[in-house]
Amino acid sequence: MSETLFKKAMEARKASYSPYSEYKVGASLKLSNGKVFSGCNIENASYGGTVCAERVAIWSALSQHPGTKIDEIVVVTDSKKAWPPCGFCRQVIAEFAHEETKVHTANLKGIQSSFLFSELLPNSFNPSFLKKSGQK
Ligand code: THU
């Protein structure tokens, strides 16, 4: 599955809108219901309005499949050392992660590293701490 996700992330990366950083990023994920979604980074002249590839993929997925969790996610950049998700994206992943959620980092050659999400953001602040956790 991670190889399929890698290919989807590479494909999604082609649509990257990144005139400011000139870093094209692609992401692809599998939901716990088996559906696969992808996204790319979309930058903004305000800079702060930029959205990372991971969050574009996550919001696309969750807007169509509310109540699902993320099983695995691949991020691909053109970099010798593959990029892990930024802190902002880790917090967003925490909202939809489960104990076995995996994160794979990749460059154009393929997947370089694989982590359990809990390794990337241990002791995350997540819906389980809130009364209105959205877990109806
Ligand atoms: N970016 C991502 O898409 N994902 C990450 O995890 C890190 C950063 C994007 C944001 C911006 O468009 C560019 O990469 C440089 O930071």
| Index of the ligand 1 atom closest to the CA of residue 50 | 12
Q: Is the pLDDT of residue 17 over 60?
A: yes
| Index of the ligand 1 atom closest to the CA of residue 20 | 12
DSSP string of 69-135, one letter each residue: -EEEEEEEES-SSPPPPPHHHHHHHHHHEEEEEEEEEEETTEEEEEEEHHHHSTT---GGGSSS-S-
Mean pLDDT of 11-17: 98
Q: Name the pLDDT band for 131 (thresholds 50, 70, 90).
A: confident
Q: Kindly state if the Cβ of 23 falls inside 6 Å of ligand 1.
A: yes
Cα–ligand 1 centroid distance for 75 (angstroms): 10
Q: Is the pLDDT of residue 135 over 80?
A: no
Q: Kindly state if the Cβ of 86 falls inside 6 Å of ligand 1.
A: yes
Directed axis angle between helix 53-64 and helix 87-96, to 10°? 20
The pair of three-digit structure tokens given for residue 33, joined into one six-digit string: 């219901």
Residue type, 54: E
pLDDT in tens, 59-114: 999 999 999 999 999 999 999 999 999 999 999 999 999 999 999 999 999 999 99
Q: Name the pLDDT band for 1 (thresholds 50, 70, 90).
A: confident
The pair of three-digit structure tokens given for residue 89, joined into one six-digit string: 């994206």
Q: What is the pTM of this model?
A: 0.94
pLDDT above 70: percentage of residues in the chain: 97
The pair of three-digit structure tokens given for residue 53, joined into one six-digit string: 């590839």
Cα–ligand 1 centroid distance for 129 (angstroms): 28
98 contacts 69 by C-beta, under 8 angstroms: yes
**Catalytic positions, written as ranges:** 54
Cα–ligand 1 centroid distance for 136 (angstroms): 32
Among candidate residues 54, 96, 58, 95, the one with its CA nearest the CA of residue 76: 54
Q: Is the pLDDT of residue 134 over 70?
A: no
